[in-house]
Amino acid sequence: MRRRVKVLVPLHVTAMWLPVYTDNPLTTGSIGVGVLLKPGAVVEVEAGSGGRGPIPHISAVLKRLGLSASVRFSAPVPLGAGYGLSAAYTLGAALGASALAGRPLIEAAQTAHVVEVEMGTGLGDVIAEFYGGGIEVRVKPGAPGVGVVDKVPHPRRLAALTHVFRREDTSSMLVRLRDALRERGAKLVEKFLEQPTYDSFLELSAEFSRVMGFLTPEVEGRIRRCKKQMHGYYAKKGVLVVLLDVNEVEEVEECLMREGVEVKSFGLSHVGAVVLRE
């Protein structure tokens, strides 16, 4: 009988963040806020040899854990756009292989975080995706079990639409934005943490996106005619996120399509990564 598990991992699009670097990858991370989306990544892990795939993270995390497994994965979004997908795949592979081996899942999640930090592909995605929370707030940086995640109360019937307008390597982005994050981004993150409400999130995440150059006049111009039914919007790296009531999704989708903006529809994920035995 084959031994395998399926791991469901939400996507994570950070809205505001401030990198925190230390001499230990477990305490390195970010503070900030982001939205967790479903459906997310599906990672299928089977006991046995394997573990190599299109991204090196999976081989790296299995090697660090000292485990061998065959891993398959899929998601409704592309890598490199800003959905936290490399973290989702890494976390899913680590959790699945550890579950099959009877190992602690917190150890697996911490190892996934270390891999993301050392490969320069993420600072706060793993902890957000491990714990979930709809709209999560990283109030203390670090890996799961080290960092601390809070939640932002938000409207009950909330949905998200996303549009990918470009891609950018995460490590290159962090280098490019180093000064802007330290000088201007930090003030916005601190202002939000003083009043972590939904309205504050909408206002400051859009401002943060503009300051970082993600939310350009061109991008905002393309969605201007459809803003009436939106609660708000922001952009991270190459993905635009629109938040709105579920009852407005169809109308806003049609409006955006008329403007040439093709979108995907998501719910907010209030649970983190889930391991299911098959």
Residue 260 has pLDDT above 90, yes or no: yes
Q: List the beta strands (DSSP E) in 109-164.
A: 135-140, 148-151, 158-164
pLDDT at 183: 86
Is residue 13 scored above 90 in pLDDT?
Answer: yes
What is the pLDDT at residue 53? Answer: 55
Per-residue pLDDT tens digits for 114-139? 999 999 999 999 999 999 999 999 99
Confidence of residue 240 (pLDDT cuts 50, 70, 90): very high
pLDDT at 1: 42
**Res. 28: pLDDT tops 80:** yes
Q: Measure the CA–CA gap between 138 and 132, rounded to whole angstroms.
A: 11
Q: Write the pLDDT tens digit of every residue in 150-166.
A: 999 999 999 999 999 98
The per-residue pLDDT of the chain, averaged, comes to: 94
Residues 76-98: what's their mean pLDDT? Answer: 96
Q: Is residue 177 very low, low, confident or very high in pLDDT (cuts 50, 70, 90)?
A: confident
Per-residue pLDDT tens over the stretch 207-228: 999 999 999 999 999 999 999 9
Q: How sure is the predictor about 169, in pLDDT bands with cuts at 50, 70 and 90?
A: confident
**pLDDT level of residue 234 (50, 70, 90 thresholds):** very high
Q: What pLDDT was estimated at residue 54?
A: 56
Average pLDDT over residues 246-266: 97
**Per-residue model confidence (pLDDT) at position 175:** 79
pLDDT at 50: 60
Name the pTM for this structure. Answer: 0.95
- Give tens-digit pLDDT for 37-78: 999 999 999 998 764 555 899 999 999 999 999 999 999 999
Which positions ≥6 away from 228 have C-beta within 8 Å? none
Residue-range domains of the chain with CATH: 4-151+269-277 (3.30.230.10), 158-266 (3.30.70.890)
Shortest CA distance to 76 belongs to which of 124, 129, 10? 10
Q: Is 146 exposed, middle or buried (0-12, 13-18, 19+ CB in 10 A)?
A: middle
**Closest-CA residue to 247 (of 222, 269, 230):** 230
Which residues are CB-contacts of 273 (< 8 A; sequence separation ≥ 6)? 7, 8, 9, 10, 88, 91, 92, 95, 109, 129, 130, 132
pLDDT higher than 60, residue 262: yes
Whether the pLDDT of residue 268 is over 80: the answer is: yes
